Amino acid sequence: MAEETEVLRDRLRAISEALGVLNQAGEEVTGRSAPQLMYFAGKDLGLKEAAAYDNTDDIERALKWVFPGMEEVWKVTLWKNKEDDEFWIYEVEEMFVRLLFEECPVRASCLAAGVKLGGVACQTVHGYAAGMLQKIFGRKVDLHTEHMGPGACLVMLVTALE
């Protein structure tokens, strides 16, 4: 059992390093626009993948579909400022909610490989999530990074008013 655990750790470490290399190489190949290009590629994929899910306006249910598994792998929760009464903020034509990524395998991989956060890997996942959520909600969705750090990342989900 101990040997199997060690093999799994080595595999995880290797995958983290490979993700870090892909993150860096993507920008070197396509330049500074790589994160934006990969965001849209991820979004297209997310739109296709979400076809297997029902439509819902329940953000927490939708997040469980987009980020499945244990909270030790993906822990994405709604976040609000202390002065805000609600998680959702409503403006003239759109509404938004902040998502706190407390556990994220992409962030863990980037940190393990010594790669900057917010690059190709992060933007691809954000695009994928935006595409899935767009299909699930039935209205335009985009994700914008507000903060990236070793402890957590804060991402704003922006969508059209219902």
Q: Between 131 and 29, name the one with better pLDDT.
A: 131
pLDDT at site 2: 74
Give, for 97, the enclosing helix (H) or strand (E): strand 94-103
Domain residue ranges in the chain: 2-160
Contacts of 101 (CB under 8 A, 6+ apart): 75, 76, 107, 152, 153, 154, 155
Mean pLDDT value of segment 149-155:
95
Lowest mean pLDDT among 30-34, 80-84, 131-135: 30-34
Q: In terms of Cα–Cα distance, which of 143, 118, 139 is closest to 128?
A: 143
Task: Give the tens place of pLDDT for each residue, 45-74.
Answer: 999 999 999 999 999 999 999 999 888 889
* CA distances, 112 to each of 44, 121, 145 (Å): 28, 14, 20
Average pLDDT of the residues of the chain: 89
DSSP 8-class letter at 33:
G
Between the two ends of the chain, the Cα-to-Cα distance in Å is: 52
State what percent of residues in the chain have pLDDT above 90: 59
Residue 109: pLDDT band (50, 70, 90) is confident
CATH architecture of 2-160: 2-Layer Sandwich (3.30)
For 160, what's the count of Cα atoms within 13 Å in the CB-facing half-sphere?
7
User: Does residue 43 surpass a pLDDT of 80?
Assistant: yes
Secondary structure (3-state) at 10: helix
Helices assigned H by DSSP within the chain? 2-30, 34-49, 59-66, 105-113, 120-137
Residue 27 structure tokens: 């920008």
How many angstroms separate the CA atoms of 142 and 129, rounded?
Answer: 9
pLDDT at site 40: 94
Helix 120-137 and helix 59-66, axial crossing angle in degrees, nearest 10: 130
Phi-psi region of 118 (alpha: psi -120 to 50; beta: other; left: phi over 0): left
How many angstroms separate the CA atoms of 74 and 17, rounded?
Answer: 19
User: Does residue 138 surpass a pLDDT of 90?
Assistant: yes
pLDDT at site 24: 72
